[in-house]
Amino acid sequence: MIELAKYFRILFMSVRISRDRLKGFTEDHIQRLTANNPGGIFTGILTAILTAYNNFYGNLASKSVNEAAQEGKTIAMNESRDELEKNLSDNEKLIAYTYRTNKPFYEEFYPLGLTEYSNADLDTFGTITLRYKTVLGNHSADFPGPFVTEYGTKHSTFVTNRSAQSTAKSAVDSEISDMATTRPALAKQLTINVLTIALQYVGDDSKATVYFDQAILDNAFRESDRKVSGDINPDTTENIFDNISKADLRLTFKNTGEGALNFGFKLADDSVVTETTHQLAAGAEVNVTAAEWGWTSVNKFLNVTNASGLAGSYSVEKN
C-alpha cells in the first residue's frame, strides 16, 4: 500500500537523532546544496536552511555559554553562603553573651537556633538572613561597629551572588525555551528541502546522495539503540524507545530540563504518560528496571510527557 500521508510529515524530529548528529547532517547538507545549485534553483531553500541552522545552533552555543556562566555563579553563590553561615555561627557566641539575661532579644536573632540557617533552602535562607540583618540593625548600639559591618558585607555579597546566579539561570531557561521552537523549525526546513529537491528530480533517486548523507542518519539510529537525549516542549509526548524486550533491563533516566517529566511504558508510541508515580523532577536522576516503570509484554513503548508547562530536556540510557 502507498502511504501518501508520510509525505506530509515533518522528518528529522525523532529523539533518536541527537543534536550533534543533526548538526553534522545539516552542515553536510548545506555544503552539498551549496556545491550543487544549478542556475540558483535552490537558493531559496539554501537561505532558509542557513537561517534555521543558525537559529538552532546559535541557541545551543548560547545555552552552553550561559550554563558555564551559571555554574560559575553558582559556585560563587555557594561560597558566599558558606561565609555568611560561618559569620552567623561566629556571631552567636557574642550575641548569646550580650543577651545572657535577655532571652527574648537573643531569640530575635536565632528564633529556631543556628540550624534554622544551615538547614534552610536558598529562598528561605535569603529571607531569614535579611531578617537577621534588620534585627542586627535594630540592636546595633549593643555591638562593636566592625561586628555589624562585617555581617552587612557578607550578607551583601551573598545577595549579589544569588541575584547573579538567578539571572544566569533565567538565561539558560530562555535558551531552552527557544530551542524547543528552533529545533522543530530546523526539522521542518530540512523536510522542505528534501521534498523540494525530490520534486526537481522526480524519478532520479540517485540525486538523494548528491544532497544528503544517509549514513549520518543511519549512524544516529544505531547510536541511539542504547542512549537517547532530547528536548521536549510543554504539553508534548515523545517516544524514546520502542525496542525494549526484557523486563529486567536497567535504564538510567536523567531530567536535564527545568520542569518535571513523566516517563512510562505505554501501549502506543503516542500515548500520554499521566502516571506521576514515574515522574522525575528537574535535575533528578534514577536507575530502574523496565518493569519498575511499567514495561509489560503489551506496554512496550517507553514514552515521556512534559506536563510541567516549562521547556524540558532529558536523557535515557540502557545499562
- The pLDDT value given to residue 59: 60
- The pLDDT value given to residue 200: 94
What average pLDDT does the chain have? 86
Dump pLDDT digits (tens) for 259-274: 899 999 999 888 999 9
Query: What is the arithmetic mean of pLDDT over 138-156?
Result: 93
**pLDDT beyond 60 at 284:** yes
Query: What is the arithmetic mean of pLDDT over 68-90?
Result: 82
Q: From residue 11, how far is each of 180, 219, 228 by CA, in Å?
A: 16, 16, 17
**pLDDT beyond 70 at 224:** no
Dump pLDDT digits (tens) for 149-201: 999 999 998 888 887 776 666 555 655 555 667 888 899 999 999 999 999 99
Angle between helices 145-200 and 122-138 (to 10 degrees): 150
**pLDDT beyond 80 at 102:** yes
- The pLDDT value given to residue 63: 59
Where is average pLDDT lowest: 59-63, 143-147, 209-213? 59-63
